[in-house]
Amino acid sequence: MMGMTMTQKILAAHAGLPEVHAGDLIEANLDIVLGNDVTTPVAIGVFEKAGFTKVFDPEKIVIALDHYTPCKDIKSADLCKTARNFAKKHGISHLYDVGTVGIEHALLPEQGIVGPGDCIIGADSHTCTYGALGAFSTGVGSTDMAAGMASGLNWFKVPSAIKVELTGKPGPYVSGKDVILHLIGEIGVDGALYKSLEFTGDGIANLTIDDRFTIANMAIEAGGKNGIFPVDDVVCEYIKGRFNREPVVYEADEDAEYDQVVRIDLSKLEPTVSLPHLPSNTKTVSEAAGMPIQQVVIGSCTNGRISDLRIADSILKGKKIADGVRCIVIPATQRIYLQALKEGLIEDFINAGCAVSTPTCGPCLGGHMGVMAASERAVTTTNRNFVGRMGDTKSEVILASPAVAAASALAGCVADPRAL
């Protein structure tokens, strides 16, 4: 028997096979099928056109109405209505709507819906977030979502893997966002195309669970099929009391095969940004400092967690956003919003001149709550900075950590939080 990676072991188990190898085509059982207000209505159309009349398990389907909600126009209202009606018809209990919804990839771990050893598909490219918990999770199209809802199965080509060895301890204001931006800058936006990014090394112990969510979330920005972390004490502490299924822990074999090994010394990293128009267009913040901006967004499935808001608050509290800059803060879930209220963070943000929104993906995909006009530039904690991603095709998006975003909001330009 040949050695297997973490991802390959999870896929083998869910396919009922003793072993799988890179390139194998397998049919695997699914623990969770996820969709949102953009992708679920398309999947529903495919589901019904194919003649399916019932879902495989209403407890294993999750619908999060997070992209354009609260609904910004008639079309988005119609999409949400379609999803709501489907959930009601099929008894889907995991429907998250206005008032309960959060940005899906922050919401599912928080609610204990996903956990170690799971096999998860979602009709959203950043479904790979849950690899932070030692799960195999990946984004799929709405057709695959429809098939998954009906059968509880999905076809996969087993990915080969890149081992990312992390050593050392991050310095001040260096977070998971800086780690993944640095990695994407190193290997490129297609450097891990249809591969598993498997994170190892003693440096992982120096990364919080939120750092890991951020890193796994952006595996897709390097072309990855998924990103995955080992299940250690940090993961076990996070799922305790929230994940009500028995976690299954997989470890890569000593002789597992990897296409390449990338080594990153966390102690040598600096706060990093991705300049327009690719996540791989990375610079250290000191190299990019001084670029004028008109908008800052702190939020998204990548960096809208309570730790992200605390970091931003530590920089913004008692200060004022620069003239000519709009700073939009979006807590990723209702629970995070409530915690930020209790800690006084929301008050600090408003006093600093920020606008604070209900949980939504909103501006990340040019949806609402912060769409940009031509020639405007934003520093944002989101995950993608393609042409026209956040508005006009002549607008620009710079990806950054919450610390860099907050510092830039005060400075009116790209700024190094260490220089404050």
- 277 preceded by cis ω (within 30°)? yes
Q: Is the pLDDT of residue 2 over 90?
A: no
Q: What is the CA radius of gyration of the chain?
A: 20
Say if residue 204's pLDDT is above 90: yes
Q: Is the pTM of this model over 0.75?
A: yes
- Amino acid identity of residue 180, one-letter, is I
Q: What is the mean pLDDT of residues 370-374?
A: 95
Report the pLDDT value the prediction gives residue 387, as an integer from 0 to 100. Answer: 87
CB contact at 8 A, 29 and 152: yes
The chain-wide mean pLDDT, for the chain, equals 97
pLDDT band at residue 314 using 50, 70 and 90 as cut-offs: very high
Task: Give the model confidence (pLDDT) of 136-158 as tens digits.
Answer: 999 999 999 999 999 999 999 99
> In degrees rounded to 5, what are phi and psi of residue 300?
90, 170
Residue 1 has pLDDT above 90, yes or no: no
Judged by average pLDDT, the poorest of 120-124, 249-253, 342-346, 364-368 is: 364-368
Across-strand partners of 167?
265
Give the pLDDT mean for 251-257. 95
Q: Which residues touch 420 (CB under 8 Å, ≥6 apart)?
A: 315, 407, 410
Domains and CATH numbers, the chain: 6-264 (3.30.499.10), 271-415 (3.30.499.10)
Q: Cα–chain-centroid distance for residue 96?
A: 17
Confirm if 187 and 222 have CB atoms less than 8 A apart.
yes
Confidence (pLDDT) at 128 = 97
Query: Residue 420 has what pLDDT?
Result: 84
pLDDT tens digits for 12-38? 999 999 999 999 999 999 999 999 999
d(CA 283, CA 274): 6
Determine what percent of the chain is predicted with pLDDT higher than 90.
97
